[in-house]
Chains A and B, each alone.
Chain A
């Protein structure tokens, strides 16, 4: 006796690790100032984000797997929804980090926000031209972080819904085929 297979029971794809959970955004924050790192980490936690904080652009690249040996590969399983970086940092600046991220095929889609204590228009223009999502003046406000989070979550939700809708269509499709085959 054949069991009627319902779409929900079909194991089309069990891989949910690539699905972005709409609830918890993972933010990578980069700042050389220990006070600012503490501050931005708290702002992000209060905004219900998962936070990873590093103290330099070099470490950020290491974290993303974009340094040295892995220069063009990146860590495909690493899910980062947003990168927030200080502009003025010793060694590699936030601007240079922005460029490296936008050059990487693995991470170029991730929004990058630049933070700076200096309101210098040419600097802001340059960052936006290079693909920065936003430019925030320090000290960063909780309202700024919440606004970023909200707009990102809307975008993630859309992606999530699209994926689920697509899977539903696939499941229904297979179900109909099986029904026709009278299994």
Chain B
């Protein structure tokens, strides 16, 4: 059983779902705190569910508030980075790029033609 878990975990690394940050988390676990990784992962899933739900709601509206979407994505990217969820992090980065160019179509089908959609695309807060 443990071997199976180990194999699954290794494949997550091999396929790029997890990166070395996850190992950093594992190294913070010890006998006194044996559930640390599980606790962080649980918090991550709960928080991600909240963010995804917010994003879905924001996307359901007729016009897209790119600032708000970018904000949610920034949060999602942040927590994904902290836990080592590499692929999620990459997707978030890409999504934010689409927000930056105000592209409402891009996120739906990345392989499709990119059309510039005129909309609020102010994401910069630093000069």
Contacts and interface: CB of A to CB of B under 8 A. Distances in A.
B34 to A, nearest CB: 13
A55 interface: no
Interface string B1-21: 000000000000000000001
B43 A42 contact: no
Interface in A107-137: 117, 120, 122-123
A84 B82 CA distance: 16
Contact of A117 (B24, B43, B77): B77
Interface in A27-54: 33-36, 38-39, 42-43, 46
Interface in B67-92: 74-75, 77-79, 81-83
B126 A36 contact: no
B28 A139 contact: no
Contacts of A42: 28, 33, 36, 40
B70 to A, nearest CB: 11
Contacts of A38: 39-40, 43
B21 A120 contact: no
B24 A34 contact: no
Main secondary structure of the interface of B (DSSP, over half): helix
B21 A139 contact: yes
Interface string B38-50: 0110011001000
A62 interface: no
B25 interface: yes
A36 B79 contact: yes
Contacts of B74: 88
Contacts of B83: 35
Contacts of B57: none
A138 interface: yes
B78 A36 contact: yes
Interface string B92-127: 000000000000000000000000000000000011
Given A35-B83, A138-B81, A139-B81, A120 B44 contact: no
Contacts of A46: 28
Nearest to B79: A35
A123 B124 CA distance: 12
17 contacts: A33-B78, A35-B47, A35-B78, A35-B82, A36-B79, A38-B39, A38-B40, A39-B25, A42-B36, A43-B28, A46-B28, A117-B81, A138-B78, A138-B82, A139-B24, A139-B82, A141-B24
Given A33-B82, A38-B40, A122-B127, 18 more contacts: A33-B47, A33-B78, A34-B43, A34-B47, A35-B44, A35-B83, A36-B78, A42-B33, A42-B36, A42-B40, A46-B28, A88-B74, A120-B126, A123-B126, A138-B81, A138-B82, A142-B24, A142-B27
